[in-house]
């Protein structure tokens, strides 16, 4: 806890009265995030002999107001107060963080779309793999399925058996993947800890995991349809001939 201790800035010592842990998540000018120091403006004017000079003004709009719509008015007001041409962007420089956040938002949207495409492709490839495995399983169990049909098993019973096996196979693999992902995210979360405080949270929501399990189960049903249809078409005479 640095509160109460002194810190030297240039040749002046200041007493630390508080720590802002949220400053690391903001935008920092002329330095890295988390290394900024806040001073009272009156104290800074005395220490650096600034007088009435102001190097930077931060402006926030009311909720619902878009900054890009009022940025020209802000530049015009400041420029006229300092006898600068309002159209001179170098004379009255304005940095709109909204533009930066829009660029980041577009980048994140593109990454999310790419992740969705890769995820959907992976799931479809997995479903095809499960379907092929179940096809081989049905082919190897031709005799078993034929005997079951001979002793009274209905096509619906055979269908439910194959689809349930496919669902279990995909659900177990899907839950294993989710648990592995949670483990990796937990390791990343522990690695981002600074001074015993977790700075970034990487976790999968409970309902998101439930939704993923539902999607995997649905893919299991789809993957088991073709093998189940093949299993229902097996007749006892074909099973005896195969034996």
pLDDT in tens, 138-162: 777 777 777 777 777 777 887 888 8
pLDDT at 28 over 80: no
Q: What is the pLDDT of residue 240?
A: 60
pLDDT at 89 over 80: no
pLDDT at 163 over 70: yes
Of 31-35, 161-165, 234-238, highest mean pLDDT: 161-165
Q: What is the pLDDT of residue 26?
A: 59
Q: Which residue has the tokens 């693999």?
A: 173
Q: SS3 string of the chain?
A: CCCCCEEEECCEEEECCCCCHHHHHCCCCCCCCCCCCCCCHHHHHHHHCCCCCCCCCCCCCCCCCCHHHHHHHHHHHHHHHCCCCCCCCCCCCCCCHHHHHHHHHHHHHHHHHHHHHHHHHHHHHHHHHHHHHHHHHHHHCHHHHHHHHHCCCCHHHHHHHHHHHHHHHHHHHHHHHHHHHHHHHHHHHHHCEECCEECCCCCCCHHHHHHHHHHHHHHHHHHHHHHHHHHHCCCHHHHHHHC
**pTM for the structure as a whole:** 0.56
Q: What is the pLDDT of residue 188?
A: 81
Q: What is the pLDDT of residue 241?
A: 63
HSE toward the beta carbon, residue 166, CA cutoff 13 A: 32
Q: Is 23 exposed, middle or buried (0-12, 13-18, 19+ CB in 10 A)?
A: middle
44-58 pLDDT, tens per residue?
888 888 887 777 888
Confidence band of 113 (pLDDT split at 50, 70, 90)? very high
Q: What is the pLDDT of residue 148?
A: 77
Average of pLDDT values for 126-145?
80
């Amino acid at each position: 806890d640095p509160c109460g201790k002194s810190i030297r800035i240039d040749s002046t010592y200041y007493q630390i009265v508080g720590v802002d842990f949220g400053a690391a998540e903001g935008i920092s000018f002329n330095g890295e995030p988390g290394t900024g120091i806040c001073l009272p403006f009156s104290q800074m004017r005395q220490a650096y002999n600034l007088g009435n000079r102001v190097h930077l003004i931060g402006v926030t709009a009311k909720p619902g107001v878009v900054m890009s719509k009022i940025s020209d008015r802000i530049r015009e007001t400041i420029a006229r107060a300092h006898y600068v041409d309002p159209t001179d962007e170098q004379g009255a420089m304005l940095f709109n963080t909204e533009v930066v956040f829009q660029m980041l938002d577009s980048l994140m949207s593109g990454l999310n779309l790419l992740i969705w495409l890769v995820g959907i492709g992976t799931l479809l490839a997995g479903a095809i793999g499960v379907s092929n495995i179940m096809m081989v399983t049905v082919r190897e169990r031709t005799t078993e399925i034929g005997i079951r049909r001979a002793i009274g098993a209905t096509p619906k019973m055979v269908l439910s058996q194959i689809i349930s096996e496919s669902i279990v196979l995909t659900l177990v693999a899907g839950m294993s993947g989710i648990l592995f992902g949670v483990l990796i995210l937990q390791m990343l979360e522990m690695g981002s800890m600074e001074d015993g405080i977790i700075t970034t949270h990487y976790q999968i929501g409970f309902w998101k995991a439930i939704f993923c399990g539902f999607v995997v189960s649905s893919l299991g049903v789809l993957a088991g349809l073709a093998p189940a249809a093949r299993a229902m078409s097996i007749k006892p005479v074909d099973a005896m001939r195969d034996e």
